[in-house]
Amino acid sequence: MNLRHIVHAMARSKTGPLLIAAQIAITLAILVNVVYVIAIHVGLERRPSGLDLDSIFWIVSEGHAPDYDHARVTHADLIYLNSMPGVVAAAASSALPQTGMGWMLGLSPEPEDDGQITPAFVYAMTERAVDTLGLKLIAGRDLRAEAVVPPGQHQETQFAHLAPEIVITQTLATKLFGGESALGKTIHFSPVHRASTVVGIVERLQAAPPLFGSASDMEERVVIAPEIPSGPTALYLVRTEPGRRDEVMAHVEKDFGPTQPGRYIERIETLANTAAAMRAADRTGAIALATVATLVLAVTALGIFGLAAFAVTGRTRQIGIQRAVGARRRDILHYFLLENWLINTVGVAAGSALALAVAVQLATMLSIPRLPLIYVVSGVLCLWMIGLAAVVAPARLAAAVPPAVATRGIV
Amino acid sequence: MLWHDVRQAWWSFRRSPWLTVLIIGAMAAGIGTSLITLTLYHARAGNPIWWKSDRLFAVTLDNRLVDPQSDGNSRHPEYPPFMLTWRDAQAIYRSDIPVRSARMFASRRLIDPQRPGVPIFRAATRVTSADFFAMFDVPFLYGTGWPRTADEAPEPVVVISKAINDRVFGGVDSVGRSINVSGRPFRVVGVIDGWMPQPRFYDLSGAFDPSEGIFLPFGWTTAWELPAAGPIRCLSNDQVGSFKELLAAECVWLQVWAELASDEQRARYQQFLDNYVREQKEAGRFPRPLNNRLADVSTWLDMNDVVGDKSRILVAVALLFLAVCVLNTLGLMLARFLGAAPISGLRRALGATRRDIVRQHLTEVMLMGLIGGIAGLGLAKAGLWLLHVLLFLPMARQSINPQAQTIAHSMTHLDGQMVLAALAMSLIAGLAAGLYPAWRIGRLQPASFLKSQ
């Protein structure tokens, strides 16, 4: 019993083996690429946000009265929120982290350096912003009350009077100054013609969920500038002691609105919910892809099993004859396993080529790095195993055919 | 004859019920998955104003200062920015070549219903020109848009959506009545009747956002220093310290649309735009080569890549899965038919023609495809419902506009076209999986089987 016989036998009825090989090829192409895309997605999900996500909630209020004084109300609201039992720190902010909203400005270490502009998120926040967001300060200090500048007239002109001191993320510091310490350095904000000194560096702050496929760390380039965000919409972030978020939120929902006239509370929401909502679409996409990949694998495995089973029942007589002329049980078992292995190998070989072709296409469409070969290798091994497992039962059935079958007239 | 074939198929199913269930299940999974992804694709790929899509044009001018390598649109660096600066929008709007045209941007205003029990709320607002409504065939429940004369020295007139009308006026005809917009009384001139183009082609910065609830004459932009709710992109380092400076800066944030009745009109308008940019070049603006584009609605949706590669990839994966299911069925049916070949041989010997045999076997596979298709439709319905409840509805609830939930619903709605697609897919899948096995079994010589018995 050798390969030549098997190839010879298969050549006589090619259709079945070819179909299985084609099925395995497509399955491998889907499987490898889906697993790769999901792996990238999981990698992005695992990236830390830098925020104390579970203890923060946010409030949006909107001033509507003609005599609504935004700066005064913000000041009073912050005193109220910071004095609530269970609150660690509260601050106003021009944009909500994790949503990707807010202003981006062009930054450079040198003035008017048009060629070297680094876009970054710029948040206007009030004092103790770092503490409010639960960020890890790795150098310098948090924003001080004395540094906070009054609000701009319009949202469009938010940073026209950017404060002289700012806090930035480590990612931005490295981008701008490389290995040197950014503390005490000056950053130029070209669109508003201002320059500010770095007084604090935080380890990490995600302004948005990481963009799928983007190699840059854009979402982690953030500047926090001490400024009362312009109105009449106000956004407050409140960080509570661990485990007391919901209790504090309930209090705020009940009592906060009426503390100031001329404005209303539009929304109160946990930051954890916001972060989850921002990731929901990508997460669902990944789950959908995983489901389809599992289904493809299941259908293919059942197909291999089904065809092998048919091959055995269809060849019962021949098997009987072979047994009668001296083939042992394990010879029969080996024959079927070997035959299947051959089909599998043709399938995974074609599948590897197909998988790589699909991967090239995907890499440009999603702008992700080229598929690492380890995925193809693992996919090939996985399909080999599954193919083998699917054929074991039919092959054992074949091996169990008694030699006496050969002497019977009718199958 | 058909009845006979179906009964034959039934007997065949009975002979190997597990195999039948497996094949139908695989078909259902393949068709169901394809339907779900096609529905999501379909919802994004629509052209909401197809009947005059080739007469409506988005205007883009290439006012970029640097060459596009460093620009955000990496796939198509040749595209101009998708929005315009204030002064360009002003200048272009002055042309009388188009039948109609409109400048616009998204803003937001507070609405005080001044009714007991109805709280003040924030409403998405579109600031635009009088032609907006006629140009985009906006249906009115009551009243109409405002006259062009109300645009420049802006009159306090407003067009509101049905949803706002229901909320503020309890759904009655509110034309002529006063509504409090951010502390100012405005006169309602029209109520829009449930208009929600998807995608929202006229401003794709929120392609699947609902259309706005409040429409204000364009002149209010400067009169009120209205904030832009959409993105503002500044292409230069102009000082932007005040609203006036924003209007003068090289920052893009407005859309201009034009309705052009003929190719000749389009050519003249293109000429007008190019001439305008040439004039500006002399003043030191527009340093790059002429690149002004008029994009009709379908081109515009395409340029903005509203469909997105993600939905294309999902459809491709689902169709590949369906292909695997078809190959699977093909192989299994071939094996099953050949296994039962003696029966066919017997039938042939008893007088059935070759065509009868082929037809009967093909019917069997087509029947499985059809049942798989129906089951797939059910699967798709269930899958889309899950997506709606777990993904689209929670996302819509994040929006300040309650109409976002209607859109969430339409994104996962399995419509008649999709039922037809299910039917087509099950027929094609059945044919693809059944033709070859049926042909093979029909070709067998009956004698070869009868002999061995």
What are the tens digits of pLDDT across the range B366-392? 999 999 999 999 999 999 999 998 888
| Interchain CB contact of A155 with B (< 8 Å) | yes
What average pLDDT does this structure show over A7-15?
A: 72
- Quote the pLDDT of residue A336: 85
- What's the pLDDT tens digit per position in B144-203? 999 999 998 899 999 999 999 999 999 999 999 999 998 899 999 999 998 999 899 999
Taking CB atoms and an 8 Å limit, are A191 and B318 in contact across chains? no
Report residue B99: phi and psi, to 5°: -60, -45
| Nearest residue on chain B to A158, alpha-carbon basis | B241
pLDDT of A411 over the 50 cut: no
- CA dist A159 and B78 (Å) reads 31
Measured in angstroms, the CA of A24 and the nearest CA of chain B are apart by 8
Q: At what angle do helices B404-411 and B17-45 cross, to 10 degrees?
A: 140
| Nearest residue on chain A to B108, alpha-carbon basis | A233
Contacting residues of A for B331, CB less than 8 Å apart: 15-16, 19-20, 23, 303, 306-307
- For the four alpha carbons of A181, A92, B393 and B196, in that order, the dihedral sign comes to negative
Banded model confidence at residue A130, pLDDT cuts 50, 70, 90: very high
Note down pLDDT in tens along chain B; length 453 residues: 678 888 878 877 787 888 889 899 999 999 999 999 999 999 899 899 999 999 999 999 999 887 665 445 467 888 999 999 999 999 999 999 999 999 999 999 999 998 888 888 889 999 999 999 999 999 999 999 999 999 988 999 999 999 999 999 999 999 999 999 988 999 999 999 989 998 999 999 888 888 999 999 999 999 898 888 888 888 877 777 788 888 998 999 999 999 999 999 999 999 999 999 999 999 889 999 999 999 999 999 999 999 988 889 899 999 999 999 999 999 888 888 887 888 888 888 888 888 888 888 899 899 999 999 999 999 999 999 999 988 888 888 777 677 788 888 888 888 888 999 999 999 999 999 999 999 988 887 777 666 554
What average pLDDT does this structure show over A228-254?
A: 93
A112, A277, A299: residue with CB nearest B325: A299
Quote the tokens at residue B437: 């096995």
| Interchain CB contact of A281 with B (< 8 Å) | yes
Q: How many Cβ pairs within 8 Å bridge chains A and B?
A: 154
| Interchain CB contact of B339 with A (< 8 Å) | yes
- Quote the pLDDT of residue B296: 95
- What residues contact residue A398 under an 8 Å CB cut-off, 6+ apart? A312, A315, A319, A332, A333, A335, A336
Measured in angstroms, the CA of B280 and the nearest CA of chain A are apart by 22
* Residue A395 CA: distances (Å) to CA of A331, A334, A381: 11, 8, 20
| Interchain CB contact of A262 with B (< 8 Å) | no
Contacting residues of B for A157, CB less than 8 Å apart: 240-243, 245-246
| Interchain CB contact of A181 with B (< 8 Å) | no
Contacting residues of A for B226, CB less than 8 Å apart: none
| Nearest residue on chain A to B386, alpha-carbon basis | A284
CB contact residues (below 8 A), chain A span 8-27, against chain B: 15-16, 19-20, 22-23, 26-27
| Interchain CB contact of A66 with B (< 8 Å) | yes
A157, A302, A314: residue with CB nearest B339: A314
